[in-house]
Amino acid sequence: MSDSADLKKAGLKATLPRLKILSILEAAKVHHMTAEDVYKALLETGEEVGLATVYRVLTQFEAAGLVIRHNFEGGRSVFEINQGSHHDHVVCVECGEVFEFYDPAIEERQRKVAESLGFDVDSHSLYMYGVCLGMKRHGHCSKKEGR
């Protein structure tokens, strides 16, 4: 259950930067962070880590299945901790908030489509972009900042 054990299980040495990054991702209120976000959070805890390390570690975590990388609109990657349960995303283009949902019917239809193509699916992602309720109604929402 400890982060240290999680890392070992993934075949990764339990180094300080890795432990810190993992705990930041786990503790994050907004749990979709860019590499830069993680780097800033590390600096705030007074940690001496290089941005290169953040990228390297996030990529290793992705390969190990500890985190999920998303390529949202705009080109930069965002990462979220992998809590086991697959879900899809709805992103507000005004405030940046990310909602998650899971729809078994959609998952099933995707599986069928892949099957009919003879495709072995490794991963799939479904993103919807639009304007959230708060921004529509009041021009702001819980996460007011734009981008």
Partner DNA sequence: CTTTTGCATGGGAATGATTCTAGTTTACAC
Partner DNA sequence: GTGTAAACTAGAATCATTCCCATGCAAAAG
Nearer to DNA, 75 or 104 (CB): 75
Q: x-or-dash pattern for DNA, window 44-73, by CB under 7 A?
A: ----xxxxxx-xxx-x--------------
CA distances from 17 to 34, 42, 43, 54, 130 (A): 16, 9, 11, 8, 36
Is residue 77 within 8 A of residue 71, CB to CB? The reply is yes
The correct pick among 85, 118, 138, 142 for binding a copy of itself (CB under 8 A) is 118
Is residue 10 within 8 A of residue 65, CB to CB? The reply is yes
Residues in contact with DNA, counted by CB under 7 A, come to a total of: 25
Half-sphere exposure of 136 (CA within 13 A, CB side): 5
CA distances from 81 to 109, 140, 141 (A): 26, 27, 24
Nearer to DNA, 37 or 107 (CB): 37
Q: x-or-dash pattern for a copy of itself, window 122-141, by CB under 8 A?
A: xxxxxxxxxxxx--x-----
Is residue 17 within 8 A of residue 49, CB to CB? The reply is yes
9 counts as binding DNA under rule CB under 7 A: no
Judged by CB under 8 A, the chain residues 16 through 75 that form the site for a copy of itself are 71-75
The pairing of strands 77-81 and 67-71 is antiparallel
Three-class secondary structure of residue 144 per DSSP: coil
Q: Which residues bind a copy of itself (CB under 8 A)?
A: 71-75, 77, 90, 92-93, 99, 101, 103, 105-106, 109-110, 113-114, 117-133, 136
Q: Which residues bind DNA (CB under 7 A)?
A: 4, 8, 12-18, 34-36, 48-53, 55-57, 59, 75-77
